[in-house]
Amino acid sequence: MKLGTTYICVDDMEKSFKFYKLLLQKEPLYCNDDRWIAFDCGNQIALYNKKYDENLLKNSSEIHFNQAYIDDFHKEDGCKKNNIVIFNFEVENLKREYERIKALNIGEVSEIMYVNVHMPYYYFNVIDPDGNILEITGNY
């Protein structure tokens, strides 16, 4: 088994698309309408717009989903979905990347942090439009 794609559920596809395009400095591999956008960043990271499926369920007479998907889609789950996983991105020059991301003004950016438990480790966080924490690390 291997990890295929990690995808992030987003509320505003356009805002998230702009954020990740600027952050990753890449064009997407492909876009499927306003539902799915995939980027290559060593592995695929994709954005998924659940509202797209909700619109299809409400407004389309075509069959797009099986009943199991529909039941799961409508299941109430009060748990917060974001910030369960932290995405860790590695860069060549942490100081330069920190300045680049701060200048983009695409989201909240922490200060550069330092940890030394078993080895020196520097990183900073940037928050995406849906509240996900993205950790950026690299040579300092």
Say if residue 63 is in the same domain as residue 9: yes
d(CA 36, CA 8): 10
Residue after which a domain boundary falls, among 74, 109, 125: 74
82 occurs within a structural domain: no
Q: What domain range includes position 43?
A: 5-74
Say if residue 109 is in the same domain as residue 130: yes
Alpha carbon distances (Å) from 102 to 48, 92, 112, 135, 138: 25, 17, 11, 14, 16
Q: What is the pLDDT of residues 18-73, one digit of tens each?
A: 999 999 999 999 998 889 999 998 888 888 888 998 998 899 888 888 898 888 78
Nearest CA-CA partner of 126 in 46, 27, 24 = 24
113 occurs within a structural domain: yes
pTM (predicted TM-score): 0.80
Say if residue 15 is in the same domain as residue 67: yes
Domain CATH code at residue 44? 3.30.720.120
Domain CATH code at residue 97? 3.10.180.10
Inter-residue contact 98 to 109 (CB < 8 Å): yes
Say if residue 93 is in the same domain as residue 126: yes
Q: What is the pLDDT of residues 83-119, one digit of tens each?
A: 567 788 999 999 999 999 999 999 999 999 999 888 8
Domain count along the chain: 2
